[in-house]
Amino acid sequence: MPQKGLSMRKIREILKYRYEFNHGIRAIARLLHLSHSTVLEYLRRARACGIPWPIPEGIDDEALEKMLFPKRRHSAPQRTMPDITFLCTELAKKGMTLSLLWEEYKATHPDGYQYSQFCHWFHEKRKTLDRSFRQIHRFGEKLFTDFAGQTVPIQDRVTGSTHPVHIFVAVLGASNYTYVEAFEREDLANWIHAHRHTLEFLQGVPELIVPDNTRCAVKKASRYDPDLNPIFSDFADHYGCTIYPARVRKPKDKAKVENGVLLVERWILARLRHHSFFHLAELNQKVSELRD
């Protein structure tokens, strides 16, 4: 069945960005990390099926899937793929992108693989030749978030014992504007509070929040369609933004916050190494001063 590489959640996001926020095709493709031809295809299917926006409550994901992808009477023909060496050679040329190679492939093989399957096949074949691409950040587009690996001890005045508290870091992609706050635990409640405090500090909401694959953000990691924690997903819906987790073991996907954590550890936590803190509020007061 064609075009089923994406979940119904992502299809709903495509429709929301198009009809609620009036975004252009390429803007939607950039926000959701899709090719513009894929976005066009889903919008074409929605129009052909007469799917309205907002989607009525009676249409659940199963019903939406049946409307968009009616069963075929005949089995799909045998699909062909180009030579991986050809793809790598072409991709090395200036201005060439994988989405353009896929569009050329589809023009030659209309019944070939869809974009997500094409990308999966390509990256599986090219694992030993994996390269890094420079990320372009637009103002207000992405907010990268994570907890730092280093902790800070809080001391009990009575017993003298200490327990570690965790440092949350959030960094805007284009400006590197950074928010830092200490929390008792890395649990869901503190994760939600951390993001709410960040948005209040920024006095605005980004289009995308890019977290690590912590259990507070992602229940089940996936390269193309991660299963988000429902409470964190509701948080994003409330603020009108989208959660797009970094891939597992791909730190370059969130290089901004990785660098932000490094700076926080060097410029804030290193300066507090000789201080004794007895309350979380006392620590956060000092962190706030050094952050500013």
CATH code, domain carrying 229: 3.30.420.10
Same-domain status, 117 and 148? no
pLDDT at 134: 60
3-state SS, residue 154? strand
3-state SS, residue 143? strand
pLDDT class of 58 with cuts at 50, 70, 90 = confident
Half-sphere exposure of 197 (CA within 13 A, CB side): 18
Same-domain status, 281 and 150? yes
Report the DSSP pairing between strands 142-155 and 208-211: parallel
Judge whether residue 105 has pLDDT over 80: yes
pLDDT at 10: 84
> How wide is the angle at C-alpha 129 spanned by C-alphas 126 and 131, nearest 5°?
110
Cβ–Cβ < 8 Å for 132, 253: no
pLDDT at 78: 60
Q: Phi first, then psi: give them for residue 150, nearest 5 degrees.
A: -80, 140
> How wide is the angle at C-alpha 82 spanned by C-alphas 77 and 84, nearest 5°?
135
pLDDT at 255: 87
Same-domain status, 164 and 257? yes
Same-domain status, 286 and 163? yes
Counting the structural domains of the chain, the total is 3
pLDDT at 76: 47
pLDDT at 161: 92
Strands (E), the chain: 142-155, 162-172, 178-183, 208-211, 218-220, 227-228, 242-243
Q: Kindly state whether residue 127 falls inside one of the protein's structural domains.
A: yes
Judge whether residue 176 has pLDDT over 90: yes
Q: Kindly state whether residue 273 falls inside one of the protein's structural domains.
A: yes
Alpha-carbon distance of 263 to 209, in angstroms, equals 20
Same-domain status, 70 and 196? no
**1-5, 25-29, 108-112, 170-174 — which is least confidently predicted?**
1-5
- Which pTM does this prediction carry? 0.57
Same-domain status, 172 and 233? yes
Closest alpha carbon to 40 in 120, 137, 115: 115
> How wide is the angle at C-alpha 208 spanned by C-alphas 210 and 285, nearest 5°?
65
Same-domain status, 100 and 175? no
Q: Kindly state whether residue 185 falls inside one of the protein's structural domains.
A: yes
pLDDT at 210: 94
Q: Kindly state whether residue 137 falls inside one of the protein's structural domains.
A: no
pLDDT at 73: 47
In terms of residue numbers, what domain contains 163? Answer: 142-291
Judge whether residue 227 has pLDDT over 60: yes
Same-domain status, 40 and 115? no
Mean pLDDT of 167-175: 95
Angle between helices 8-15 and 61-68 (to 10 degrees): 80
125: exposed, middle or buried (Cβ count in 10 Å: 0-12, 13-18, 19+): middle
Q: Kindly state whether residue 136 falls inside one of the protein's structural domains.
A: no
Q: Kindly state whether residue 167 falls inside one of the protein's structural domains.
A: yes
Per-residue tokens: 60: 């659940």
pLDDT at 127: 72
Domain end marker among 74, 99, 118: 74
Same-domain status, 112 and 175? no
pLDDT at 71: 67
Alpha-carbon distance of 9 to 61, in angstroms, equals 8
- Choose between 94 and 182: higher pLDDT: 182
pLDDT class of 72 with cuts at 50, 70, 90 = low
Q: Kindly state whether residue 119 falls inside one of the protein's structural domains.
A: yes
Same-domain status, 69 and 91? no
Same-domain status, 161 and 199? yes
Mean pLDDT of 65-84: 67
Same-domain status, 52 and 191? no
Q: Phi first, then psi: give them for residue 6, nearest 5 degrees.
A: -105, 155
Closest alpha carbon to 28 in 177, 207, 169, 190: 207
